[in-house]
Amino acid sequence: MPAKSLAEFIAAYKEEDVTSEAFELENDRLLEIRLNGSVWAKAGAMVARTGQVKFTRQGLLEQGLGNLLKKAVSGEGMVLMKVEGQGRVYLADAGKKITLLRLDGETIFANGNDVLALETGIDNQITMMKRVAGMMSGGLFNVRLSGKGIVAITSHYDPLILKVSAATGPVFTDPNATVAWSGTLQPEIATDISLKTFVGRGSGESIQMKFAGEGWVVVQPYEETYMQAGQS
C-alpha cells in the first residue's frame, strides 16, 4: 500500500458525525459519546475528550447496598465512572469490538467486564449465580441491565449469537467466552467431571454455563482472563 499524504491521512481517519444519536461508533473499536448531561462509562476507558467534562468514580450510595454486598462477597465488581458535562468523549477497551444495543424496557444480562458504557436510563444490578463462589478463579460476575436507553458492550472479535430453545435443548458456554444473554434466561453453573481429569486442567472447560429455556446467548471467539478487584 503506498504512503498517504497528510491530507489523505486526515481525510481517511477524521472524526465524522453520521447520526444525531448520543452514542455513535467512530469505528468498530471506538465509541464517541456526544455528552449533554451524564452517562456511565467503564473506568479507565476514555481515550480522548473535548469540552467541559467531569469524571467521577461511581460512589458507594450510587452502587446501592445490594451491589456493594455482592462485590464484597465476590471480591469483584464492575467499576464505573460518571461522565458529566457538555462535550465529546471517546471510549475504547483494549481494542475490543463495540456493539451498541438499544433497550426499550427490555432486560439483558452481560459479563460485567464487557460493559463499556450506558445511558442513565439504564439500571444496572450485579447478579450472582448459584454455585459460583469458590469455583471460579477468574472475574466471573454478571450485570442485569434494564430500562430505556443505549448500552455499549464489547467483545474480542465478532460475537456469535446462539439461540436457546426447549426444542433444541440447553446451550453450554465457557464463562470466559460468554459476553451477554437475554433477560429470559437464568443460567446455571455446570461441571464436567471427565474434563477435570485431564492433567493440568483444573478449570476452563470443566466449568461451564448452562442456558436452558427460550432466549439467546452471545459468545466471543476468545477466552478472556480477569483479575479480581484490588489486583494489578
Report if residue 231 sits inside a domain: no
Residue range(s) defining the domain that contains residue 128: 20-219
Number of structural domains (the chain) is 1
Alpha-carbon separation of residue 88 from 17, 46, 114 (angstroms): 11, 11, 22
Q: Is residue 8 part of a domain?
A: no
- Give the residue-averaged pLDDT of 171-188: 94
Residue 140, C-alpha cell as written in the block: 466471573
The pLDDT confidence band at residue 218, using thresholds 50, 70 and 90, is very high
Q: Which residue has the cell 466471573?
A: 140
- All residues at 6 or more sequence positions from 76 whose CB lies less than 8 Å from its CB, including other chains: 112, 139, 140, 141, 226, 228, 229
Q: Are 77 and 67 in contact (CB under 8 A)?
A: yes
Beta pairing, strands 30-42 & 80-91: antiparallel
Position 16 confidence tier, pLDDT thresholds 50, 70, 90: confident
Please report whether residue 200 resides in a domain.
yes
- Kindly state the cell numbers that stand for 1: 500500500
Nearest-5° Cα angle at 192, 191 to 196: 105
Q: Which of 47-51, 67-71, 144-148, 222-226 comes out lowest in average pLDDT?
A: 67-71
**Residue 132: predicted pLDDT:** 52
Query: Is 229 part of any domain?
Result: no
**Residue pLDDT, tens place only, 85-113:** 999 999 999 999 999 999 999 999 999 88
Is there a domain that residue 166 lies in?
Answer: yes
Among candidate residues 158, 176, 201, the one with its CA nearest the CA of residue 111: 176
Residue 229: pLDDT above 80? no
Contact between 150 and 92 (Cβ < 8 Å): no
pTM: 0.84
Neighbouring C-beta atoms of residue 57, cutoff 10 Å: 10
Q: What pLDDT does 92 receive? A: 98
The H helix count followed by the E strand count for the chain is 3, 14
- Does 115 map to a domain? yes
- Confidence label for 171 from pLDDT (cuts 50, 70 and 90): very high
Residue 186 within any structural domain of the chain: yes
Average pLDDT over residues 167-179: 93
Please indicate, yes or no, if residue 25 is contained in any of the structural domains: yes
Could you tell me the end-to-end alpha-carbon distance of the chain, in angstroms, rounded to an integer? 40
Section 14-27 average pLDDT: 91
> Hey, how many other C-beta atoms are within 10 angstroms of the C-beta on 122?
20
What would the mean pLDDT of 57-61 be, rounded to a whole number?
61
Q: How many Cβ atoms from other residues are within 10 Å of residue 123's Cβ?
A: 15
pLDDT of residue 141: 74
Q: What is the domain-level CATH number for residue 128?
A: 3.60.160.10
> Residue 156 and residue 221: Cα distance in Å, rounded?
7
